[in-house]
Chain A
Amino acid sequence: MANTVKLNIDGIDVSIDAGKTVLDAAKKLNIHIPTLCYHEDLCVAGNCRVCVVEQEGVKNLVASCAMPAQDGMVIHTNTHKVRNARRHVVELLLSEHNADCTKCYKNTRCELQDLAGEMVINEHMFLDLVPDKNYTIDMLSPAIIKDDSKCIRCQRCVRTCQELQHVSALGVAYKGEHMKISTFFEHSMYDVVCTNCGQCVIRCPTGALIEKNYLDDVWDAIYDEDKHVVVQTAPATRIALGEDLGMEAGSIVTGKMAAALRRLGFDSVLDTDFTADLTIMEEGTELLTRLKRALVDKDPTVKLPMTTSCSPGWIKFIEHMYPEYLENVSTCKSPQQMFGALAKTYYAQKKGIDPSKIVSVSIMPCTAKKFEANRPEMRDSGFQDVDMGLTTRELAVMIKQAGINFKELPDEKFDNLMGESSGAGVIFGATGGVMEAALRTVYEIVTGREVPFENLKITPVRGMEGVKEAAVKIENVLPAWSFLEGVELKTVVAHGLTNADKVMQAVKNGTADWHFIEIMACPGGCLGGGGQPIPTTPEIRKKRAEAIYREDEGMAIRKSHENPEIQQIYKEFLGEPLSDKSHWLLHTHYNARKRV
């Protein structure tokens, strides 16, 4: 039991665990102290000073986010001195901030704007320094825009990139008035080690780091009578979209989302969960093939452990950081790209539509998906497989633009052909989900029996622990898989690239004996993705995860190989997993990149 300390805030006594801050204690009392540089997921920086409070007996104001709560402290959060100081802090930030809010993508969704609003800052007390600053804006990346004129140098992005993602594409350069958030030699985000994960985007309190939006392109396609616009929605969008449309975190809005997409004018409303199931068929078979080559054929060239390839942030990470392990990555494309390749081949053929007239749009919890869609490797259909990748947030904007009352929409279903999915496809959106989905199918292929976990819930791979290991003993196998009899299939799951790095270090040092590794670039998996509604906190991610597993349990089909549309596509188009056609459309390879 931790020691507790007693303090008094605004005349109210409060006890809190030692080691917690004054800010934590105030939160416990439901006293709101404004913050900017503070973020629950990150280490304390204490650089913005917006959270200052007055402590009796101390001359200077103290930053409540950084000040440990101590016995006997008497704190005031709303004195004249405090309010003046906070106001000056915000005004000084505004004097260097391009506050042309009506032209800003973050308009009405900006923490700095909210603060200025709360403080009712009508006139600027300080000189506007923006015209004298040589601010630059970097729009080269297809995923992330970095606009220094909006930056308040709180360094949330820097801490995110370093602490959560082990990338540090962004750092602090220069000093004093010249200090700025910079990449290596101020290169474009497109040309550096950035994984496009967007974790900085969901933590930036202003419009300094935003996703590149493709709203107008999508509207244009919808309005173009000549185009057939298909849309796919990723697993994690359906448990988060509601947050941007006035609903609680953890609301499941699958049916409303399908209804909204139809009302927006998409010609066909389909589901990435379908290709998530397809990924399991291909990736599961690939894993079994690699195991056979290693165990039966004793082939020394086969690469194990095999890692997943669904997360484009992870793919770019390994290309930069561990290029020598690229052959360990599954050759499967991500579900988004499998969908894209099939939309302009299989779907086009079945529906009798000229693929050149198809515009393929994806709704993703992700900013890296925008980069992935633009990869030169992703044109196997003969066209760009996915034309535009939108974030969950962009979809929410479109729904608002169209004047749709989202909360009151009826639940509708996805269209058929590539709209059916299983619970296994849904859980792709949570960390551990791909592993769980794969085990449900692989175990059954090999033994003919369901995976030995109650109600198919493979709990060791669930939850928010950074690195989760699970071993499944394979026994009483079917004759074709006799080489796997008695084998203990060892797996590991990591989310957040800092945890991915730990796993890869273990692989590199030879201290690990895993067969299969699942890695998701974002904390919590896709449900905590860089394209999800803002804000993100551990609490919100937990609620989203609970919603995903609830959705899985509510599905009639829980295993990828039992999805009837999956069985149909293999029968009518692909043949079997890892067939020539599969290799042509559903698999790819990646290239080493420099780590700068």
Chain B
Amino acid sequence: MPEIKELVKGLADKHGRNRESLLPILQGIVTEERFISDVAMAEVAKELDMSAALVYGTATFYSFLDTEPRGKYVIRLCKTITCDMKGKKQILKTIEDLLKIKVGETSKDKNFTLLETNCLGWCHKGPAMLINDQVFTELDEDKVTEIIDDYIRNI
């Protein structure tokens, strides 16, 4: 895993090697690798001279610090009550049908991961979802199909 070692070292050079550097380093790993593996966490612990269990604790605390392999595009559909009442269930079914994956799964080609998330703060424009860092709101079946198709075409 020389690449991970290099990546972690680079991130530590950039953000520092203190405790408060831990979060930006973990975020940096997610940006590059889309998830933080056990090897990466051990490397971070070594680089920052801290306990690996504490790195693991931090990584598992934050939903957006993925600790399992994810696809190139991570779709996070809001599961909280407002989006649910505005038709989130149908949106979910549409995405599942389009990508042939269930919630929590990653497509065979490793391009998409489908997850549910807690409130994104877009209740007034629900249902809402995130694809990586981009927000999509006021979704309906047609709109979500168009968005996903767009991503599939541009892979």
Query: CA separation between A170 and B52, bound complex, in Å?
Result: 9
* Chain B residue contacts of A184, Cβ below 8 A: 38, 41-42, 51-53, 55-56
Point out which of A174, A182, A185 has the most chain B C-beta atoms below 10 A from its C-beta. A185
Query: CA separation between A175 and B63, bound complex, in Å?
Result: 10
- Residues A595 and B45 in contact in the complex (CB < 8 Å), given A168-B51, A168-B53, A184-B56: yes
Q: Let me know if A173 is at the binding interface, CB within 8 A.
A: yes
The answer to whether A182 touches B53 (Cβ under 8 A) is yes
The answer to whether A172 touches B45 (Cβ under 8 A) is no
* Chain A residue contacts of B42, Cβ below 8 A: 184, 594, 596
Interface string of A171-191 (1 = CB under 8 A from B): 111110000001111000000
Which one of A174, A182, A183, A595 lies within 8 Å of B46 (CB-CB)? A595
Interface string of A239-264 (1 = CB under 8 A from B): 00000000000000000000000000
Q: Which of B41-63 contact A (CB under 8 A)?
A: 41-42, 45-46, 50-57, 60-61
Q: Let me know if A167 is at the binding interface, CB within 8 A.
A: yes
* Chain B residue contacts of A175, Cβ below 8 A: 60-61
Distance in angstroms from A155 CB to nearest chain B CB is 11
* Chain A residue contacts of B38, Cβ below 8 A: 184-185
What is the chain A residue whose CB lies nearest that of B67?
A: A185
The answer to whether B60 touches A169 (Cβ under 8 A) is no
Point out which of B42, B46, B56, B61 has the most chain A C-beta atoms below 10 A from its C-beta. B56
Distance in angstroms from B101 CB to nearest chain A CB is 23
Distance in angstroms from B150 CB to nearest chain A CB is 34
- Residues A182 and B57 in contact in the complex (CB < 8 Å), given A595-B45, A595-B46, A596-B42: yes
The answer to whether A169 touches B53 (Cβ under 8 A) is yes
Query: CA separation between A171 and B58, bound complex, in Å?
Result: 9
Distance in angstroms from A185 CB to nearest chain B CB is 5
Q: Which of A148-182 contact B (CB under 8 A)?
A: 162, 167-175, 182
What is the chain A residue whose CB lies nearest that of B51?
A: A168
Count residues on chain B whose CB falls below 8 Å from chain A CBs: 15
The answer to whether B61 touches A169 (Cβ under 8 A) is no
Distance in angstroms from B92 CB to nearest chain A CB is 22
What is the chain B residue whose CB lies nearest that of A172?
A: B57
The answer to whether A192 touches B60 (Cβ under 8 A) is no
- Residues A192 and B53 in contact in the complex (CB < 8 Å), given A174-B60, A175-B61: yes
Query: CA separation between A169 and B51, bound complex, in Å?
Result: 7
The answer to whether B54 touches A171 (Cβ under 8 A) is yes
Q: Let me know if A193 is at the binding interface, CB within 8 A.
A: yes
Distance in angstroms from B40 CB to nearest chain A CB is 11
The answer to whether B61 touches A173 (Cβ under 8 A) is yes
What is the chain A residue whose CB lies nearest that of B49?
A: A595
What is the chain A residue whose CB lies nearest that of B46?
A: A595
The answer to whether A168 touches B46 (Cβ under 8 A) is no
Query: CA separation between A174 and B60, bound complex, in Å?
Result: 5
**A residues apposed to B, CB below 8 Å:** 162, 167-175, 182-185, 192-193, 594-596
**B residues apposed to A, CB below 8 Å:** 38, 41-42, 45-46, 50-57, 60-61
6 contacts across the A-B interface (CB closer than 8 A): A172-B61, A175-B61, A182-B60, A184-B53, A193-B52, A596-B52
